[in-house]
Structure 1
Amino acid sequence: MKKVLAIFFVAIIAYGCATVPVTGRRQLSLVSNEELIPVAFQQYDQFLDTSRVVTGTKNAQMVKNAGNRIQTAVEQYLRDNNSIEVIEGFEWEFKLVNEDIANAWCLPGGKVAFYEGIMPICENETGVAVVMGHEIAHAIANHGRERISNAMVLQGAFGTFGALMGQNPSAGEQLILQAFGVGGQLGMLKFSRKHESEADEIGLIFMAIAGYDPREAVDFWGRMSEKSGGQQPPEFLSTHPSHDTRISDLQELMPKAMEYYNKNK
């Protein structure tokens, strides 16, 4: 029986794999974007209905400008690498929300939200592009889909995501929450840090293609480190890399990013 189950797991993982743009990493993919994106859109609409969206301000315009430029860079990169299908079904939106939280996110399908609280750390449009590139990278790399796929394997849910939602909506909702970074069981933390580091790398390339100086990413995370005042939890208990690790990794990636920047500035 154990042998049969092992073969079953190997077959599922071998069948349901995809490749992450830019990094080329292979990832588990048991859920289609056709199933996931409509759910993400629904959650985004619900979020906007209960939030104070900012329009007509300098900050709102910076968010929109950076989003549009990085969207164009993403589409350019994917076309150049024959991977434009990665964003099939995307309907881009870039919103600023009036809430004092130093955060931003991008749901599957290209729905982006920035909070006013992160804008002072960004300082300018290039700083906004650092965050925008990182958050959009999560969506382009299908990290949410990968989280759900891994959770489905762990829970033994091998049907389609749509079938799971129909059979057990609460379980499906839990998978969605995990995909969007809600919760944080210790067993999933390393997996989350891997995604954060990968989004840093991909986002750095996207902002460089968009004509933003990627060296700003190091300065941004330096400012974020200062804001945290050394209160970050130990890295092994965090879903994000430490600020020092992040800065060091970005510095190693900088020569590659600067090549893209010098071609597109």
Structure 2
Amino acid sequence: MLNKNLLIAAVSVLLSACATSPTGRTQFIYMSDNQVDQMGLQAFDSMKSKNPVSRNSRFNQFAQCVAYAITQQTGGQWEVVVFEDETLNAFALPGNKIGVHTGLINLVDNADQLAAVVGHEVGHVLSRHSNERLSQETAVSTGLAMVQAVTQPQTALGQTALGLLGVGAQYGVILPYSRIHETEADTIGLDLMARAGFDPRQSINLWLKMDKAAQGGQPIEFMSTHPSHASRIDNLQQNMNRALQLQQQAWSQGRQPRCAK
């Protein structure tokens, strides 16, 4: 009887945790979005207090211009911070937080290329990938512990929690997103940058630049947690015609971002 009750309870949990991503994929989402948002806010506050924030006005204006054009397509208020860090990286966290490294700003040729990275990272947030990973990892029992652990990044549990959020590389632990998550974020990010009026074709140029930089031995945390360039570019090319149509629609409606590097 006990086993039967446990089975019924388990099935109820699974059914209540079913969700659908923006691309129509079925997800296991058990933790509340509010919990995960709080984790994102705590992690971002911790990063701002422990990592140097750039005071370069040109870099800040450039990153904010690109990010705000992207997030106008998502709604909500987003905070954008540029960190003094020469690694080629950017990230977005639940709770509407975006971080961009100065190394990435130095690498990109134009706003369209930065928009490709920012759109991708925002795609992770819109798809609730952090919640999905945390839900799978915690499996209900340690959810509260994970929320609390974000405030203690020096602990093993804290590092795991930050890694699941997507910023673990900052603290010496890398937990890659799955290939499914990456492809989904690429698809959503491509559409976001196009709907904002950026040139989606520059996303391919960006990954080619990343590939060249990686071969040159530059530290690329962004690349170290993501799948191969070839598969990424192939997916982008498959979705390019739709993205170009979205860009044309954006331009016809007056959305042509003018973000100067």
With over 3 angstroms needed to count, the CA separation of the structure-2 counterparts of 1:158 and 1:64, relative to structure 1, is: same
Counterpart Cα distance in 1 of 2:178 and 2:197 = 29
Kindly provide the amino acid, as one letter, of the partner of residue 107 in structure 2: I
1:162 aligns with 2:144: yes
Counterpart Cα distance in 2 of 1:212 and 1:251 = 16
Per-residue deviation, 1:114: 0.6
| Contact persistence 2:31–2:134 (CA under 8 A) | yes
SS in 1 for 2:73: helix
| Contact persistence 1:148–1:178 (CA under 8 A) | no
With over 3 angstroms needed to count, the CA separation of the structure-2 counterparts of 1:14 and 1:175, relative to structure 1, is: farther
Query: Unaligned stretches of 5+ in structure 1?
Result: 76-89, 232-237
Q: Deviations over 1:157-185 (max 9, x none)?
A: 347x3377579x97863552242233457
Task: Select 2:122's aligned residue among 120, 130, 136.
Answer: 136
1:214 aligns with 2:192: no
Counterpart Cα distance in 2 of 1:225 and 1:9 = 45
With over 3 angstroms needed to count, the CA separation of the structure-2 counterparts of 1:100 and 1:173, relative to structure 1, is: same
Other-structure match for 1:52:
52
Per-residue deviation, 1:193: 2.1
| Contact persistence 1:164–1:171 (CA under 8 A) | no
1:146 aligns with 2:132: yes
Per-residue deviation, 1:230: 8.4
Kindly provide the amino acid, as one letter, of the partner of residue 106 in structure 1: A
In the superposition, the TM-score normalised over structure 1's length comes to 0.79
With over 3 angstroms needed to count, the CA separation of the structure-2 counterparts of 1:243 and 1:5, relative to structure 1, is: farther
| Contact persistence 2:40–2:165 (CA under 8 A) | no
Report the aligned-residue RMSD: 2.8
Counterpart Cα distance in 2 of 1:207 and 1:64 = 14
With over 3 angstroms needed to count, the CA separation of the structure-2 counterparts of 1:95 and 1:165, relative to structure 1, is: closer
Per-residue deviation, 1:51: 2.1
With over 3 angstroms needed to count, the CA separation of the structure-2 counterparts of 1:166 and 1:112, relative to structure 1, is: closer
| Contact persistence 2:33–2:131 (CA under 8 A) | yes
Other-structure match for 2:230:
244
SS in 1 for 2:95: coil
Alignment of 1:50-199 (within 5 A): 50-75=50-75, 91-153=77-139, 157-158=140-141, 161-162=143-144, 173=158, 176-181=161-166, 182=168, 183=173, 192-199=178-185
Query: Unaligned stretches of 5+ in structure 2?
Result: 218-223, 252-261
With over 3 angstroms needed to count, the CA separation of the structure-2 counterparts of 1:256 and 1:126, relative to structure 1, is: same
Question: After the TM superposition, which segments of 4 or more aligned residues of structure 1 sit over 6 Å from their partners?
Answer: 1-4, 169-172
* Higher RCO by CA contacts (8 Å cutoff, separation 6 or greater): 2
**Identical columns (%):** 32
With over 3 angstroms needed to count, the CA separation of the structure-2 counterparts of 1:245 and 1:6, relative to structure 1, is: farther
Counterpart Cα distance in 2 of 1:166 and 1:243 = 36
